[in-house]
Structure 1
Amino acid sequence: MKGKRMMLCLLGGMMLCSGCAARREQAQQMLQQQKEEDRYDSMTLAMDTVINTTIYDERGEELLLEVEQEIQRLEGLFSVTKADSDISKLNANAGKEETALSEETYALLKTSKEISTETGGSFDITISPVVKLWGFTEEEHHVPSQTEIDQAMALVDEDQLLMEENNTAYLEEEGMAVDLGAIAKGYASDVVADLLRQEGVESALISLGGNLACIGTKPDGSLWEAALANPLDETDYVGLFQVSDCFLITSGGYQRYFEQDGKRYHHIIDPDTGYPAESGLLSVTILSEDGTKADALSTALFVMGLDRALDFWRNSDDFEAVLITEDGRVIATEGAAAVFSFEGRDNDFTYETVNR
């Protein structure tokens, strides 16, 4: 197979020199067909979401297995529902004793605390008792009473998650708990992308629910295209990204929710109130080279609301964003606007670009 690919590349180069457009196009099509033959796809369930992976590499079948095993390994560390995970053990020991953690879990907890501080608490992994109270942890939804919310909110405080020496951590109050659901998939995207790059993969796409990791470009050298979903219509999209080597991660109230007495309640809980965030936003998409941070920021900026989110972006230099508001605006930061197209979209949204 390698010899055949080399011959096609050489043949294509010869045709470029000849100046024959028709034969040059034919050679390019032959090369693209050969690359497509090295396409491998998989779909699996892990981390409470559907994971789709596409790899263009002659070792694709073997690499898909490595990707799946790596994601399952990370789920085994970070799951809030698996009894033997690092996070479940930490939560079970709350108010009792320190918990020895893997180096990865410890590092991700530290990163989570740093992002919590950076975002002024809009991202807080100790919100777990409140998320569970609303029924989102085990998908047993109900609207809790204010008394129940107040009691659960008393256990939300990232300052009481203590990071001790030798990869140990401690939750100070019994009943406290952490949930890495708003950052773990982004971290998994980072890990898997690094794994594939180290294996020499130059073209791959991994989708973990609302998290998209783009490795390199398409096999023909063109950019990956990713549609940004319309939060009001699951069959529609509001625009297309054209990107390479980056992470695109979206959070929105339309992704997980339930309805009770005619009102919709989504899964993104505001750490300040204990209720689903009412920020005026329908979704936030983060574009970054850091999948871990992008995942956390998509949640944090959704909680912040438009004005605070844009102020936060203006004081940062490591991400871009597209925010969709409840009043029908699609607002792209200048870096995102450079790779985001909405031409030809027929909808009721208005499109804006904001600058620093």
Structure 2
Amino acid sequence: MSRRTEAVLNTKREKWLHAFGSPCHLVMGDRSTKGEELEQLAQAELSRLEAKFGSHYPESVVSAINLAAGTGAYTELDAEGRSLFGYVSALWEQSNRLFDPSTRVLRECYNAAGQLRATEKQLQGMLKLVGWSALEIGERGVRLPTRGMVINLDNCVRPYAVDSVLKLLRREGVEHALIEMDREAASIGKQPDGA
């Protein structure tokens, strides 16, 4: 094998992407000339999931659920949304209900330094707006029963997004890759040098 061929086979591509308010590090062993295209596909997938499920996107599924809280209206879920909500519900159950994506509303009770600024009465009122068990998931979709309730799935979507990008890269024939976002990391194969 020529040195030039060997160099092409061992090419490593690194790219910093961004999604869900976090940097995302993508490293691929690229044996093709599609590296830049693969990076763009990865960023597009992250952006798609962020726009679809990100709590800070006004058109997202999560924003629609939050806006409809207390109105009785359901927000429809497609298969991907149902899968994600099933995953989040499983996390909630397996954590003995300690993990709860409906606690976001409690941030209003604390200042930037993490000190309680709400009165006991205000805090008790806010606690009535917390509880994943109150979320209604059914055939018609999802709804929050009480006005003021909100959910935030960003921390749940990150591992899903990492997995989704890996699946995309596998479909594109990538044999060596690492993707890291926040505290989530996953890989395909080993490094091209065998490590």
Q: Normalising TM by the smaller chain, what interval? A: 0.7 to 0.9
Paired position in structure 1 for 2:93: 117
Pick which of 126-135 and 198-207 moved more.
Answer: 126-135
Query: Aligned pair 1:69/2:44, yes or no?
Result: yes
Supply the AA of the counterpart residue of 1:125: P
Distance in 2, matches of 1:210 and 1:115, equals 17
- Secondary structure (helix, strand or coil) at the match of 2:44 reads helix
Which structure would you say has the larger RCO, counting Cα contacts within 8 Å and 6 or more residues apart? 2
Q: What's 2:82 paired with?
A: 106
1:154 Cα deviation (Å)? 1.3
Bigger-Rg structure (1/2): 1
Q: Distance in 2 between matches of 1:75 and 1:133?
A: 27
Structure 1 segment 45-60 matched on structure 2, within 5 A: 45-57=18-30, 58=32, 59-60=34-35
More helix by share: 2
Cα distance change of structure 1 residues 100 and 132 upon mapping to structure 2, 3 Å threshold: farther
Q: Are the equivalent residues in 1 in contact too, given 2:158–2:181 (CA < 8 A)? A: yes
Deviation at 1:40, TM superposition (A): 2.0
Q: Does 1:164 align with 2:135?
A: no
In 1, Cα distance between the equivalents of 2:103 and 2:74? Answer: 20
Contact 2:18/2:43 (CA < 8 Å) preserved in 1?
no
CA RMSD of aligned residues (A): 2.1
- State the 1:90 CA deviation: 0.4
Distance across 2 between alignment mates of 1:75 and 1:141: 28
Quick one: percent identity of the two aligned structures? 27
Structure 2 residue identity aligned to 1:80? S
Asked if 1 retains the 8 angstrom alpha-carbon contact of 2:69 and 2:148, the reply is yes
Pairs aligned (count) = 190
SS in 2 for 1:200: coil
Amino acid corresponding to residue 65 of structure 2 in structure 1: L
TM-score (norm 1): 0.50
2:69 and 2:146 in contact (8 A); partners too: yes
Shift of 1:187: 0.6
Q: Structure 2 regions of 5+ residues with no counterpart? A: none
Shift of 1:145: 2.0
Q: Which runs of 5+ in 1 are unaligned?
A: 1-6, 9-26, 223-356
Which of the numbers 198, 201, 224 marks the counterpart of 2:174? 201
Once residues 167 and 149 of structure 2 are traced to their aligned partners in structure 1, the CA distance between those partners, rounded to angstroms, is 33
SS of aligned partner of 2:10: helix
CA contact (8 A) 2:109 2:118 kept: no
Mapped contact 1:46–1:71 kept (Cα < 8 A): yes
TM-score (norm 2): 0.88
- Deviating beyond 4 angstroms after TM superposition, the runs of 4 or more aligned structure 1 residues are none
CA distance 1:158–1:51, shift in 2 (3 Å): same
